[in-house]
Amino acid sequence: MDKLEEFLKFEKENNLFDYTYNGICLWALVRGGVFLRYYTEREYHHPDYSIKNANPGIQHCWLDRFRLRTNYIKLVLKHIFHRVVAKKKDVFCSNVNIYKIINGERVDPFMDFFRGTGLTVHYHTRYNHIRSYDIIHPGTNDCIFILKEVLLNRFYGLLGIERQRIEIPEEIRQFVECLSEKLSVQIDREYKNQIVQMVRYFVSRKSFFKKLLKNRCRCVVHGNYANIDHMALISAARELGIPTVELQHGVAGKKHLAYNFLDASRENKYLPDYFFTWGDYWTKTVSLPEGTTPISVGFPQMDVSRNYLKDVRQNEKHVIFYSSQIRALGILALDVVDELAELGFTVKYKLHPNERKFWRIHYPELNTGRIEVLDEPLNVHELLASAKFHIGINSTVLFEALAFDAVVLVYDIDDIREVGALVEMGYAHLFDSKEALLRLIVESDDASKDKSISEKLFKQNAVKNIESELIRIMSVKL
């Protein structure tokens, strides 16, 4: 029994979903954090990619501050305008605003497919200064919410009131003590404070979304439910009688905590009503509560990529590494780049979107010119179609590579989780050293590989499938 199986059994045996504070399911909010922080006794320590910490000179430049404030004012004005003139739409779509260059066009891969349907959509975006350039779609964003919080903090500050002072309510204290006892660990004061802050944030976000949703849509579509923003959105929509749908955003298998539950009859408080998966493979591997229905619909971006990249010829001498924000993979790439170059191979290193702006600061070893680092918001499917070898640890792109008949190589240095299933089924190769990697590349032979996995992973005609399912859902009263 692995750590995840132990954890699922642990939360069921101890009825952790029964712990509430003012109607809020505490365990749902902290479940993921507790699993990483205390149950597995480890955390993923990703670099801090904030502008302030990464490069203070940029943050304190007067011109940069002026542009930042000017852009924010524009976003607030857009928010107000679109809120005032908005009419009731079919779908309220919430996701982080990101963009990629797909077939020469700058698009949001998680939202733009709605243009191919007959549905009317209200877009709500969360602006991300690292991944985004600006707000692509007209709609609302979180500017008003953030502005409200800033103004309230300033107001309370003028009155001499410490609004953010952390006082741990008795119910939360008892919940934390229960966890400490059952986990046999001492939960530190810092994490107790974080739980209180999560509860406060959840309450304020839920109130914000209820006002935004009321009488404005027939269905809510969102990305990853397992963050407080979308939990609050789901809770608000459920109280208003609006069905919620999650679009699969990444890997979701038997090794993913967010999509696995043992007590399927009870744990649906902040999960969506429907989970639209990329294909039958994902629908069969998740274990969700009875109140959440998984439906295979496909991956719109994959359909587009398959179409315009169908004539691209795969280069058998191209090797691409895909960052999982773990430094060891970059070190491995540097270790093998010279030997692969002597054998006639071209090596590239594809950054994670969170690393694009500040990788030169956090990963200086990559900034030597010895390896080509890809830091532009390109369509990763173009890389998959053009190169034969694709190397990573636990990246979604390793599954996507199979749609382009590529060779997938998995570095066995971390908990490989969902990607391990590909290795077990023979669709990917596992290696644990530089020598093993070189041997796999030089001696590669995937001629006998079963190609049927592609359709199981990524069902075709995604836009049509999503539209028909949403129309059906909106016609059913919850």
- Tell me, yes or no, whether 320 lies in a domain: yes
Query: Is 177 domain-assigned?
Result: yes
pTM recorded for the entire structure: 0.86
The most confident of 56-70, 268-282, 363-377, by mean pLDDT? 268-282
Whether residues 255 and 344 fall in one domain: no
The verdict on residue 350 lying in a domain is yes
pLDDT of residue 83 exceeding 90: no
CA 32 to CA 41: how far, in whole Å?
Answer: 13
Query: What CATH number does residue 371 fall under?
Result: 3.40.50.2000
What's the confidence (pLDDT) of residue 169? Answer: 86
State which of 37-41, 154-158, 159-163, 442-446 shows the largest mean pLDDT.
442-446
Are residues 346 and 255 part of one domain? Answer: no
Task: Give pLDDT tens digits for 222-235.
Answer: 988 888 999 999 99
Instruction: Note whether residue 272 is domain-resident.
Output: yes
Q: In the structure encoding, which two tokens stand for residue 136, read together?
A: 């692509």
pLDDT given at position 180: 87
Higher-pLDDT residue of 273 and 265 is: 273
Domain boundaries, position 228: 3-46+166-299+461-474
Average pLDDT, the chain: 83
- Binned at pLDDT 50, 70 and 90, residue 43 comes out as very low
Q: Give yes or no: residues 174 and 39 share one domain.
A: yes
Length of the chain: 478
**38 and 79 in one domain?**
no
Count of domains for the chain: 3
Instruction: Kindly state whether residues 202 and 345 are assigned to the same domain.
Output: no
Residue 104 shares a structural domain with residue 56? yes
Confidence of residue 341 (pLDDT cuts 50, 70, 90): very high
**Nearest C-alpha neighbor of 269 from the set 24, 68, 74:** 24
Quick one: 294 and 355 in the same domain?
no
212 and 314 housed in the same domain: no
Residue 414 shares a structural domain with residue 465: no
State whether 26 and 81 are in the same domain: no
**343 and 204 share one domain:** no
pLDDT at 414: 66
Instruction: Answer yes or no: is pLDDT of 397 > 90.
Output: yes
Binning pLDDT at 50, 70 and 90, where does residue 49 land?
Answer: very low
Token representation of residue 169: 């309510």
pLDDT of residue 1: 54
- Report the DSSP pairing between strands 121-127 and 244-247: unpaired
Let me know whether 338 and 390 are in one domain.
yes
Instruction: Look at residue 220 in the predicted model and tell me its pLDDT.
Output: 96
Asked if the model's pLDDT at residue 443 lies above 50, the reply is: yes
Phi and psi for 454 in degrees, rounded to 5?
-60, -45
